[in-house]
Chain A
Amino acid sequence: MQTLRRHDRYRKFKSAGMSVLTVVCALIVVLPLGLVLAHLVREGIGAINWAFVTQLPKPVGEVGGGMANAIVGTFTLLGIAMTVGAPVGLLGGIYLSEYGAERLNVWIRFGADILNGVPSIVWGMAAYALVVVPMKGFSAWSGGLALGFIMIPLVLRTTEEVLVLVPNAYREAALALGLPRWKIVTHIVLRTGLTGVVTGVLLALGRVAGETAPLLFTAFGNRFWSHHLSEPIAALPLQIFTYAISPYDDWHRQAWAGALVLVFLAFLFSTGVRLFFADRKKSPAS
């Protein structure tokens, strides 16, 4: 009896210990996020003002100015990236989920997972070789393409994962109605998984929005408005990089502000969609 009670106490002690350990580990995940965000807000909020989001960078030595061109540039690059990455990733994901033979699928998935692990600067090199060298100059095209490359495997895998979750019962019901395969994919399967697919694309966009390395020798960055997609173009991460390693205090402040804007954009991508879709689901008639 005595030993049993002692054993019982030991067991409860172990259980409590493990619970505490898991909580601590969970906090370790969240804590850095909180710290980084807090620091970012503290350092960056002071430099954010109307001029920051509407004006071009001022010449070195002149205080003030903003990153308007970099903000617009980032959206331009994301636009190009999405045109490249979303269709390829989406169609590939549809193939994996709806058409692919399992033996081939294994290799495609394997390939996509390898691509997901390729360092982003390698994609910059690929875009450099494919676009910058033949066009003999840095350009928005090349930067967007590099980001688009990164998006492809991300979108492909999330699309597949989302579509596989669409219950087979709906495909069967549609097949039994005598609908052709492609209509079933577009009108039944994709529509059922639409929220997830769109979320996947936007998360991928949020992910590449912050990529710096692939833009270093593709988009290259500049301090003015770009008038053409075949010219170098500014981007927030590039501007932050340039400003952060500069010796000027005013640039440092602006780099913080830029980082804050960038994080805010990524945040917008990942939560905005979910709120939008959550809202749509609630309304009965949609």
Chain B
Amino acid sequence: MLMALNERLPATPNVGRPAPAGSPVPAAEITFDVRNLSVFYGANEAVKGATLQINARGVTAIIGPSGCGKSTFLRMLNRMHELTPGARHTGAILLKGEDLYARDVDATLVRRRVGMVFQKSNPFPTMSIEDNVLAGLRLNGLRDRAFLQQRLEEALRAAALWDEVKDRLKRPGTSLSGGQQQRLCIARALAPEPEVLLMDEPCSALDPIATAKIEELIQQLRERYTVVIVTHNMQQASRVSDRTAFFYLGRLVEYASTRDIFTSPSDPQTESYVSGRFG
């Protein structure tokens, strides 16, 4: 089922080319290999020389105070940052060994492999629940109805929304509650079977109950997807993630297992941030 999709989608050649010669071949379980990445908005350097590897499966949290570059970093992972006028970067990001920013790589195809969920839920207002979930497949030319039906149910189940909406799939996506809308957006991002799911503060606009549901959902997703979540809620990072990266003023200060970051950080800045002394 998983493999079926890439074969069905028209024109989905392998993204990118192998890593530049001389670099060590990354181990199979590494999803993102970020090398000395600096990101700029015009003259402003938002991310300053970050190097880290994000493992396949499991949840990686990115924390840090507002303006530390964590969202910019996330948007580099699916080539959304380059849509901002004046955006540029140095360094490299490899997705499973392939350079995401190689000249012959089509950003559109990268984004099919790396799904994203945004801070504010944004279901397409003209579309029904079903159309929203299937938007990424249908608008990329998929017509096989049986397959679409199957993906619809799978994606909604994966987003823990199926039972709540199965009887009203034709209703507008915007008729759902805020928390449901965010899970609808997760289902929409999952429907094209991405390899990675990026989440940019997915709960910051939700109430505690809806937040708990999304966090529970993230726990389920970790088994099949590589999840990278940006959050400024440290409790959330400690609850949902396996590894945590702490950014401060554009620098990657510390990247370690979540337990280490929150119980025995090696950097004093990390310690003051996670213990609530600033940020």
Contacts and interface: CB of A to CB of B under 8 A. Distances in A.
Interface in A133-181: 167, 169-170, 172-180
B124 A176 contact: no
B118 A177 contact: no
Interface stretch (B19-27, B185-193, B238-246): B185-193
Interface string A255-270: 0000000000000000
Interface in B169-199: 170-172, 175, 185, 188-189, 192
Contact of B124 (A170, A175, A180, A194): A170
Nearest to A101: B85
Nearest to A169: B122
Interface string B86-130: 000000000000000000000011111101101010111110000
Interface residues of B, number: 30
Interface in B119-143: 120, 122-126, 135-136, 139-140
A11 interface: no
A169 B121 CA distance: 9
A177 B125 contact: no
Interface residues of A, number: 20
Given A176-B80, A177-B135, A179-B140, A169 B111 contact: no
Given A172-B80, A188-B124, A284 B112 contact: no
Contacts of A178: 108-113, 136, 140, 192
Interface of B: 78, 80, 83, 108-113, 115-116, 118, 120, 122-126, 135-136, 139-140, 170-172, 175, 185, 188-189, 192
Interface of A: 167, 169-170, 172-180, 183, 187-188, 191-192, 194, 284-285
20 contacts: A169-B118, A172-B118, A173-B118, A173-B185, A173-B188, A174-B124, A174-B139, A175-B80, A176-B111, A176-B115, A176-B189, A177-B111, A177-B139, A177-B192, A178-B109, A178-B110, A178-B140, A187-B135, A284-B171, A285-B171
